[in-house]
Amino acid sequence: MKKKEERYKRDDKTDERAVDRSKERSKDRRMRTRGDKRTSRKHDRKVLVAEESTKSWADTDSESSSSSSSSSDSEQVEVHCLMADQTSDDEVFDFSNVEFTCEDLVQELNDMVHEYKSLSHTFEEIKAENASLKNSSIESISDELEDTDSLKTELSKLKIENDLLRNESSELKAEVEILTKEMSSWNQSARALHKLQESQKSVYDRTGLGFSSS
């Protein structure tokens, strides 16, 4: 009778421990669920989730044995602590920590909103600067194209003027050649006339030698 009462007591204790273990597992699942929501923001964070293992107790009560010995409950709870490998220097807010208050969450949210606004402002500035650079680049290219068109037009005019000057130079060369031939012909005629005049003078005619005609 005494053995049965002790067995009932052990069964009650076992049920209580089973309920406690179920509560602990439920709490661990909730903590892991909240932690998973934050996992996407922790790229280099490795977490070893706490696990709890309980060894079952052994009841070695043998009715055929002559000596009545009751074995005590053998239960060993092994808990692995959370281990984190945080490679980033930035501080990460852990929402799974139940010690944080509502004010802490609000403060963290406000910091995130402030950071978001700051990043948005920086993005708008960079976007505006990029648009300004594009506009200036387009204007510069347009100016260069206008200068190129102007230079092309001026070059065409110079080519036409150069062709005209070449034609005029060719004409002048032809005229020079004609005048050169005429001058050569005139020189030959003058030399022939001079020889003819020399041959027609008498021996006593000293004109041209410094003597007077009287």
**Range 170-199 average pLDDT:** 89
137 — pLDDT class (breaks 50, 70, 90): confident
pLDDT of residue 96: 59
Of the ranges 3-17, 39-53, 56-70, the best mean pLDDT one: 3-17
Of the chain, the percentage scoring pLDDT greater than 70 comes to 47
User: Would you list the domain boundaries of the chain?
Assistant: 1-55+72-90
**Range 53-76 average pLDDT:** 42
Question: Which residue from 108, 84, 82, 85 is spatially nearest to 95, judged by alpha carbons?
Answer: 108
Residue 8, pLDDT > 60, answer no
Q: What is the DSSP string of 95-142?
A: TT-TT--HHHHHHHHHHHHHHHHHHHHHHHHHHHHHHHHHHHHHHHHH
Of the ranges 30-34, 89-93, 140-144, 201-205, the best mean pLDDT one: 140-144
Residue 69, pLDDT > 90, answer no
Sorted by sequence, the CB contacts under 8 Å of residue 71 that are 6+ apart come out as: 58, 59, 60, 61
Write down the mean pLDDT value for the chain: 69
SS3 5: helix
Q: What share of the chain is helix, strand, coil (3-state, %, to 5)?
A: 65, 5, 30
Decide if 54 contacts 75 (C-beta within 8 A).
Answer: yes
pTM, 2 dp? 0.30
Decide if 36 contacts 48 (C-beta within 8 A).
Answer: no
Tell me the pLDDT tens digit for each residue of 81-127. 333 444 444 445 555 555 667 888 888 899 999 999 999 999 999 99
Distance CA 149, CA 173 (A): 36
Distance CA 6, CA 17 (A): 16
